[in-house]
Amino acid sequence: MTGFAARQGGMPGWSWAWDVRSVNGKGFDLRLRLPDWVEGLEAAVRAEAAERIRRGSVSIGLKLAREAGAEVARVNPAGLEAALAAVAAATLAAGRRGIDLAAPSATEVLAMRGVTEQGGETLAPEQAAALLAALRADLRAALDDLDAMRRAEGQAIGRVIAGQVDRIAELTEAAAAAAEARRPAVAQQLRDNLARVMAGAAEAEPARVAQELAMLAVKSDVAEEIDRLRAHAGAARGHLADPGAVGRKLDFLMQEFLREANTLCSKSGDAALTAIGLDLKHVIDQMREQVQNVE
């Protein structure tokens, strides 16, 4: 099912924008475009998406930016060690010459070249946790918007499919009536065939001939196919009333609908019944196309 949602947010020092899209798909395919330096972000996004979406090709993107002036300085351990070593060496050399150097303050040490550097994208654990929580909250809101759009589309498609199920049910009853109407003609045809066989083959065993004709009668009987079509129509209505994910169930049911319609056509032996079978196949094909869009 298709849908789109966008969400912008921010917190002190950060701003971001979520972009969530989904298109039709037989399975669940998730594609992510995320910053790779936010620890735990990808796993969180996958969990949130999988909890909401069962079917479709989904794309989730995040643009994350640090606000101007929000960068914080961090100590470079190697630079600090080098600076302290330099201070110690200078103090020792001055002492040898009778010069007493005042110890530098912490601020002076931090101001030395290479001791501090801008924080960039490295965050303290508590900062990373707060950022991830805020990002997840906005992602949930974006997924809520996507879900609302997909539900609206699903309701519209559901109404179309319900109409197609009703049409299948109508054609099934028409097939039952046509099968009943052809029954006398089928019986007469079998009697005529039996008479021709017995007249042309006096040595034929009547019991054997009757058995073969009975088998032909069974092969032309479409009662089972009609019963199964009725059952499938009832199952489809049950799925449409289910508030959960039913796309895959309906997808499987389409195969069963088509199987019965094909068998009905192959066994009909009657122009009127065959025409109804072809109409059934046409409606089922249309319904199958719609079902591909349903989660």
Same domain for 277 and 160: yes
Same domain for 102 and 21: no
Q: 135: pLDDT confidence band, cut at 50, 70 and 90?
A: very high
pLDDT of 232-246, one tens digit each?
999 999 999 988 888
Mean pLDDT of 86-115: 80
Q: Helix, strand, or coil here: 16?
A: strand
Same domain for 249 and 175: yes
Q: Does pLDDT of 213 surpass 70?
A: no
Q: How many C-beta neighbours within 10 Å does residue 140 have?
A: 14
Same domain for 21 and 79: no
Q: How many C-beta neighbours within 10 Å does residue 262 have?
A: 15
Same domain for 103 and 82: yes
Same domain for 207 and 187: yes
Looking at residue 168, its pLDDT comes to 95
Report whether 5 contacts 145 (CB < 8 A): yes
For the chain, the maximum distance between any two Cα atoms, rounded to a whole number of angstroms, is 141
Which residue did the predictor score with more confidence, 89 or 235?
Answer: 235
Show the 3-state SS of 239-275.
HHHCCCCCHHHHHHHHHHHHHHHHHHHHHHCCHHHHH
Q: Does pLDDT of 196 surpass 80?
A: no
Residue type at 205?
Answer: E
Same domain for 259 and 157: yes
Same domain for 59 and 192: no
Number of separate domains in the chain? 3
Q: What is the pTM of this model?
A: 0.62
Same domain for 90 and 204: no
Looking at residue 69, its pLDDT comes to 52
Looking at residue 127, its pLDDT comes to 82
pLDDT of 33-59, one tens digit each?
998 888 899 999 999 999 888 888 999
d(CA 265, CA 80): 86
Q: Does pLDDT of 121 surpass 80?
A: no
pLDDT of 150-186, one tens digit each?
888 888 999 999 999 999 999 999 999 988 887 776 6
Q: Helix, strand, or coil here: 124?
A: coil
Same domain for 181 and 94: no
Parent domain of 12: 3-70+125-146
Same domain for 84 and 133: no
Report whether 118 contacts 66 (CB < 8 A): no
Per-residue buried b or exposed e for 37-69, using 16+ beta carbons within 10 Å of the residue's own CB = ebeebeebbeebbeebbebbbbebebebeeeee
- Tokens representing 150 are 């997909």
H/E stretch holding 13 reads: none
Same domain for 285 and 193: yes
Tokens 């059952």 belong to residue? 231
